[in-house]
Structure 1
Amino acid sequence: MRKLPNLTENFLGRAIEALETEAFAGVFFQWLVRCFEIDNTTMLAYFQNRPPQLLFSHAQEKRVHEKLESNYLTGAYLLDPFHDLHIQRAPAGLHRMRDIAPDQFLRNEYYSVYYRRTTLIDELAYVAYPSEGVSVHVCLGRDASSERVFSTRDMERAEQIAPIACALIARNWSGLRTSGDFKDSTVSDGLRARMDSVHGISLTPRQAEIALLILKGHSSASIAMRLEISPQTVKVFRKQLYRKCEISSQAELFSLMMPVLTTLEF
């Protein structure tokens, strides 16, 4: 019987052999791209008490990772829907950006200033929890190099191999460690302190909380559902927030707060 070229199972075997070695991430990606078509990957570890750690990246389109270290890892990650999965302790498995992004994600400043410039058209991630308080996200994207979203068949295949992918991720990066507890209030408390010290603006806990949700791309209705308050109450807090910050738009809120977010320490 003639041996088939690029047999997917061969690359899976190589990935298993490479577990807990420096070669794993690259070999793991080689297996994934033989399961379904992928333009790029970004493998990240999220922690409780420090910024994310880049584990591996690959892309033919250079713009995908052009601002990764200078923008994303220094603070923009706090507004990323995938990082929100870490905060919310989302179940391990496959997650797609279009399914988890806030309702106004495509209209918010994080998308305009950072995400759109990556040329990413579609993105999904395998999320695993190798140790307490640590999540590893293997993000797989389609970008300007192909200009195509993942098809229904791609997603079916990606879902089919999810248990294998997540098990390998958890096993390989089981040595990663963190400490403390990280949640939305951790960021909003830090934001309040820094806004007061840097700009002399004293925000209430609720105003800071709503500011972060606005920056992430949530509408007033979405914020209301998340915080279990009425949309009208959200609008009142939003007006108070803008008045206190002496601004009138989300773009101004982003310009004011993004530099502050990059200086937060956890």
Structure 2
Amino acid sequence: MADVTEREALAGTIAALGGEKFAPALYGWLQHICPIDNITIIAFFQDRRPEVFFSHAKEKRVFEKLESDYIQGAYLLDPAHRLHLDGANEGLYCYRDVAPDHFQRTEFFATYYGRTTLVDELIYFAQPAPGVSITLCIGRDATSRRKFSAKAVAQARSVAPIVTALSKRQWHDLKSTESAPSDPVPETLRERLLSERDISLSPRQSEIAFMILQGHSSVSIGLILGISPQTVKVIRKQLYKKCMISSQAELFSLLTPYLLDV
């Protein structure tokens, strides 16, 4: 890569459009923009589980559980997937800015994200078709153990229009049978708990339960739902009582198996 200029790398990426060499070429070009330790390209759909199009990392732990855990259900708790459900604007996002305020306190972070050794991540977000999103994540992990500097983020953001345009062209033929944003998880959790555990949660309780798993604090949940933090705490207490649990860890253990069937 040292013998190839940035412009030559970009030209090679454009030339690789439509083929299997596009993703590796894109990764090579992005290395010229700012040093990165890993990359993963994932497509999110409204009607099925995500698909991994490309991943590369020197540190094996980064993607060790990608296919076995993440794709099978853990993605539902990932802030990157939230961008898809929210129909976010195309561009570059800092993972730490889109993650819920208590994300690093969640069981998802402890059992999955924390074990990847990722220390920082940037997300290029594009929407090539209705109901379809592409997240191209570049990260820093145990390889360098460095977060992205303000300069590196600015450099990455400066090429966001190019990255999103190339991604949309490469994957323009992706399809989803559903195009309207939807989040079936809270209702699915509510139905499964009732049928399999005889636990009857209200729609609001199941909604808050899922938001707790995602890493939202009572304040954050209140702001999103338009209710007071104290009301959230009351509902959370009622939720725990119905489920006969007393901690977020127990809530995670109770609900995680049902995420696999969403």
Q: Normalising by structure 1, what TM-score?
A: 0.96
* C-alpha deviation, 1:156, in angstroms: 1.0
* C-alpha deviation, 1:10, in angstroms: 0.5
For the pair 1:141 / 2:121, whether they are aligned, the reply is no
SS in 2 for 1:74: coil
Contact 1:47 1:178 in 2 (8 A): yes
**2:210 aligned to 209, 212, 218, which one?**
212
Q: CA RMSD in A?
A: 1.0
**Equivalent AA in structure 2 for residue 224 of structure 1:** G
Q: Deviations over 1:15-65 (max 9, x none)?
A: 111111111111111111111100001100000011110010000000000
CA distance in 1 between partners of 2:150 and 2:233 (Å):
38
SS in 2 for 1:51: coil
For the pair 1:60 / 2:63, whether they are aligned, the reply is no
CA distance in 2 between partners of 1:198 and 1:47 (Å):
28
CA distance in 2 between partners of 1:92 and 1:230 (Å):
32
Contact 1:129 1:170 in 2 (8 A): yes
Contact 1:36 1:158 in 2 (8 A): yes
CA distance in 2 between partners of 1:182 and 1:161 (Å):
28
User: What is the aligned partner in structure 1 of residue 164 from structure 2?
Assistant: 166
User: What is the aligned partner in structure 1 of residue 93 from structure 2?
Assistant: 95
**1:34 aligned to 32, 35, 43, which one?**
32
**2:173 aligned to 172, 175, 179, which one?**
175
User: What is the aligned partner in structure 2 of residue 199 from structure 1?
Assistant: 197
* C-alpha deviation, 1:200, in angstroms: 2.1
Equivalent pairs: percent with the same residue?
A: 53
CA distance in 2 between partners of 1:149 and 1:58 (Å):
18
User: What is the aligned partner in structure 1 of residue 78 from structure 2?
Assistant: 80
**Equivalent AA in structure 2 for residue 172 of structure 1:** Q
User: What is the aligned partner in structure 1 of residue 8 from structure 2?
Assistant: 10
**Equivalent AA in structure 2 for residue 40 of structure 1:** N
**Equivalent AA in structure 1 for residue 189 of structure 2:** L
- Matched residue count: 260
Contact 2:87 2:181 in 1 (8 A): no
For the pair 1:113 / 2:111, whether they are aligned, the reply is yes
**Equivalent AA in structure 2 for residue 52 of structure 1:** P
SS in 2 for 1:34: helix
* C-alpha deviation, 1:231, in angstroms: 0.9
For the pair 1:127 / 2:125, whether they are aligned, the reply is yes
* C-alpha deviation, 1:182, in angstroms: 3.9
